[in-house]
């Protein structure tokens, strides 16, 4: 009996040790952790914590309520298309919800349902300074004077919902990424806007501060099994637009650190920290899970058929001509 007890105890210890061992990702031919493939981060979890949640880890009741509320909000758009259904009615406006292509569940990290990507501060909120609030208000203000005054996403320069970032946030559709690694570079193709982030793994000196690319200037290195990416020279013209959260902008002093760690054959943990002493009272941190997807990533067309921009500007000119008449 004693021998049997010892045998069972030994099996338990071995199983416990195996369960606690961290995942060791495969290696590329040049020895780096292999992050290559097609990934997605779609989820219902927003950057900031909505008021319906009390903590970072959502209860089952909170999750059900939130997911049910969102499902009702998008209505019929999430249902499969019936091949025998008649043509839809003619409408004047097509809501973006008709394009919804995302997971309608809260994301899980370590098995826990997350109510926000932000993990620090503990309240899950962006720690704005007054200057940050003011900059955000200016960036979000409507300007129909000329094409350059319209938001970058509307001009097809960046993705809607900022899936390109950085940081790369979840959006309602086209939320896929393809990662390719070489010894000198890491390339991350973003499905929306078919943009590609190029991370320099050599020559890691940042360029002149006056050059502010849409996606910033990114350099990277490996720390064990983690790809670390530092991005500076972030454009103040970018508005980071997160699902159901406050938007925010960057100052010239902003610095972003991203960490990509493969945690399983089909899973990766994406963590990021934003340090912008002008727009935020303190650095803040967030994390989200990515998962593999089959793909492929299809071509994305935006500005190629962008009739809305000239129509929006011409509509504004009509309103301007009508304004004096209304004042009489």
Q: How far apart are CA 190 and CA 175, in angstroms?
A: 8
Q: How far apart are CA 316 and CA 146, in angstroms?
A: 10
Q: Please tell me the total number of residues recorded for the chain in this structure.
A: 328
How many CB atoms are located within 10 Å of the residue 205 CB?
7
Q: What is the pLDDT of residues 239-261, one digit of tens each?
A: 898 888 889 999 999 999 999 99
Q: How far apart are CA 290 and CA 266, in angstroms?
A: 8
Nearest C-alpha neighbor of 37 from the set 299, 290, 287: 290
Nearest C-alpha neighbor of 269 from the set 280, 258, 255, 256: 258
Nearest C-alpha neighbor of 71 from the set 30, 110, 93, 100: 100
**Angle 45-48-54 from CA coordinates, rounded to 5°:** 85
Q: How far apart are CA 13 and CA 19, in angstroms?
A: 10
Element (H, E) at 232: strand 226-232
Q: How far apart are CA 313 and CA 288, in angstroms?
A: 38
**Angle 284-290-294 from CA coordinates, rounded to 5°:** 160
Tokens at 277, concatenated: 């002493």
- Per-10-residue mean pLDDT, the chain, length 328: 50 48 93 97 95 96 92 68 79 60 89 97 97 85 86 84 92 92 97 92 89 94 98 91 87 96 97 98 98 88 77 91 71
How many CB atoms are located within 10 Å of the residue 94 CB?
9
Q: How far apart are CA 49 and CA 42, in angstroms?
A: 17
Name the region of 213 (left: φ>0; alpha: ψ -120 to 50; beta: rest): beta
pLDDT the model gives residue 326: 57
Phi, psi of 225 (to 5 degrees): -90, 10
Q: What is the pLDDT of residues 151-193, one digit of tens each?
A: 888 888 888 888 999 999 998 888 999 999 999 999 999 999 8
pLDDT the model gives residue 93: 62
Nearest C-alpha neighbor of 190 from the set 44, 263, 298, 43: 298
Query: What's the sign of the alpha-carbon dihedral 205, 209, 210, 212?
Result: positive
**pTM score:** 0.84
pLDDT the model gives residue 71: 82
Q: How far apart are CA 125 and CA 325, in angstroms?
A: 45
The domain spans of the chain are: 38-75+98-299
Residues with Cβ within 8 Å of 312's Cβ and at least 6 positions away in sequence, in order, are 144, 150, 154
Q: Are strands 112-113 and 217-223 parallel, antiparallel or unpaired?
A: unpaired
Residues with Cβ within 8 Å of 126's Cβ and at least 6 positions away in sequence, in order, are 47, 48, 118, 245, 246, 248, 280, 284
């Amino acid at each position: 009996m004693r021998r049997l007890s010892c045998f069972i105890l030994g099996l338990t210890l071995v199983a416990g040790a195996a369960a606690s061992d961290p995942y060791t990702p495969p290696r590329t031919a040049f020895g780096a952790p292999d992050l290559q493939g097609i990934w997605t981060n779609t989820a219902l979890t927003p950057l900031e914590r909505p008021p319906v949640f009390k903590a970072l880890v959502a209860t089952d009741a909170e999750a059900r309520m939130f997911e049910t509320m969102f499902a009702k909000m998008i209505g019929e758009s999430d249902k499969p298309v019936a091949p025998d259904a008649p043509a839809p009615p003619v409408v004047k406006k097509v809501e973006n919800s008709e394009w919804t292509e995302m997971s309608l569940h809260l994301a899980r990290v370590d098995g826990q349902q997350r109510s926000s990507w932000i993990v620090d501060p503990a309240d899950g909120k962006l720690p704005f300074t007054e200057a940050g609030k003011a900059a955000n208000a200016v960036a979000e203000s409507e300007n129909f004077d000329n094409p350059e005054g319209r938001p970058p996403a509307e001009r097809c320069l960046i993705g809607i919902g900022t899936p390109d970032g950085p940081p790369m946030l979840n959006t309602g559709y086209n939320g896929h990424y393809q990662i390719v690694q070489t010894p000198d570079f890491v390339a991350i193709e973003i499905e929306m806007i078919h943009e590609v982030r190029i991370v320099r793994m050599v020559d890691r000196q940042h360029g002149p501060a006056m050059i502010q690319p849409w996606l910033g200037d990114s350099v990277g290195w490996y720390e064990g099994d983690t790809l670390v990416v530092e991005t500076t020279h972030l454009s103040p013209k970018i508005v980071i637009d997160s699902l159901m959260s406050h938007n925010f902008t960057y100052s010239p002093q902003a610095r972003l650190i991203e960490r990509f760690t493969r945690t399983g054959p089909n899973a990766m943990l994406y963590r990021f920290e934003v340090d912008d002493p002008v727009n935020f009272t303190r650095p803040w941190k967030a994390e989200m899970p990515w998962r593999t997807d089959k793909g492929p990533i299809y071509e994305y067309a935006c500005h190629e058929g962008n009739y809305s921009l000239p129509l929006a500007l011409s509509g504004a000119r009509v309103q301007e001509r009508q304004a004096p008449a209304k004042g009489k």
